[in-house]
Amino acid sequence: MPASPLVRAALIFAVGLALLTGGLALWRFATPSQPATVSGAVSSSGAALIGGAFELVDQDGTTRTPADFSGRFMLIYFGYSYCPDVCPTSLSVMTQALDLLEESSPESAARIVPVFITIDPERDTVPVMKDYAAHFHPAMVALTGSSEQVAQAAKAYRVFYAKVEDESAGDYLMDHSSFFYLMGPDGNYVAHFAHNAPPDEIAEALQGHVNE
């Protein structure tokens, strides 16, 4: 029995709405780069796509997986120690945000582990990571691994990176996406922040998420 025109119109509308909603969620997920973005800017449908298994080595040579952080929040940043500007700034922002939170709410700050994951494992060996992490938050866990291990971690967090030859320096730089990811005590995605968000705004957002 053919559906009445009204039913058909309603069906077409419903399908269109579903497609639009899905498309919007994907679009928002693919473009979380507005500098004003501080928290809660990713819809839950896109959120499920961020995060997952990794196996890396910290700056003391200890193998680390997400299970090691179970019960605590992870504030994760992907970058590389040879980065001339963005990464050191981002890791300073991360450190300042956690220092501010520590001042206002030490219990909240204690629940968050700052994590730095290199996307340049070729140069970021364990000793290099140890030296580098020492410039930032004392609790920072700095992770590296084989190219495959790093690729897997970056893929889980949907982090883009690529080597860019730098003729003048006879060396190379890394192009990479630059966000902080807040992962919950259950390992699930909670929020992301732009790398250049003001530390006090990040601190405030962290406070809110930790006390949710």
Q: Which residue lies nearer to Ni ion by CB, 47 or 173?
A: 173
Nearer to Ni ion, 87 or 112 (CB): 87
Is 83 an interacting residue with respect to Ni ion (CB under 5 A)? Answer: yes
Give least dist CB 55 to Ni ion, A: 23
Structure-token pair, residue 128:
């290099």
Residue 86 binds to Ni ion (criterion: CB under 5 A): yes
Q: List binders of Ni ion among 16-55 (CB under 5 A).
A: none
Q: Which stretch binds Ni ion (CB under 5 A): 44-52, 74-82, 112-120, 139-147?
A: 74-82
Q: Parallel, antiparallel, or unpaired for β 112-118 and 141-143? A: parallel
Please report which helix (H) or strand (E) contains residue 162, including its range: strand 161-166
Nearer CB in complex with Ni ion: 89/125: 89
Chosen residue from 57, 75, 76, 87 binding Ni ion by CB under 5 A? 87
Which CB, 46 or 79, lies closer to Ni ion? 79
DSSP per-residue codes, 58-118: -TTS-EE-GGGGTTSEEEEEEE-TT-SSHHHHHHHHHHHHHHHHHHH-HHHHHTEEEEEEE
Establish if 173 lies at the interface with Ni ion (CB under 5 A).
Answer: no
CB atoms within 10 A of CB 201: 16
> Smallest distance from the beta carbon of 180 to Ni ion, in angstroms?
13
132-138 LR contacts (CB < 8 Å, sep 24+): 132/81, 133/59, 135/88, 135/91, 136/91, 136/92, 136/94, 136/95, 137/91, 137/94, 137/95, 137/98, 137/99
Query: Segment contacting Ni ion (CB under 5 A): 83-91, 93-101, 114-122, 185-193?
Result: 83-91
Least Cβ distance, residue 161 to Ni ion (angstroms): 9
Q: Please, what's the b/e burial string for 157-190 (b: 16 or more CB within 10 A of its CB; e: otherwise)?
A: bbbebeeeeeeeeeeebbebbbbbbbbbeeeebb
Query: Cβ 90 to Ni ion, closest distance in Å?
Result: 7
The residue nearest Ni ion at its CB is 83
- Rule CB under 5 A: is residue 79 a binding residue for Ni ion? yes
Give the interface size with Ni ion as a residue count (CB under 5 A): 4
> In the complex, what is the shortest distance from the CB of residue 22 to Ni ion, in angstroms, rounded to a whole number?
32
Contact residues for Ni ion, defined by CB under 5 A? 79, 83, 86-87
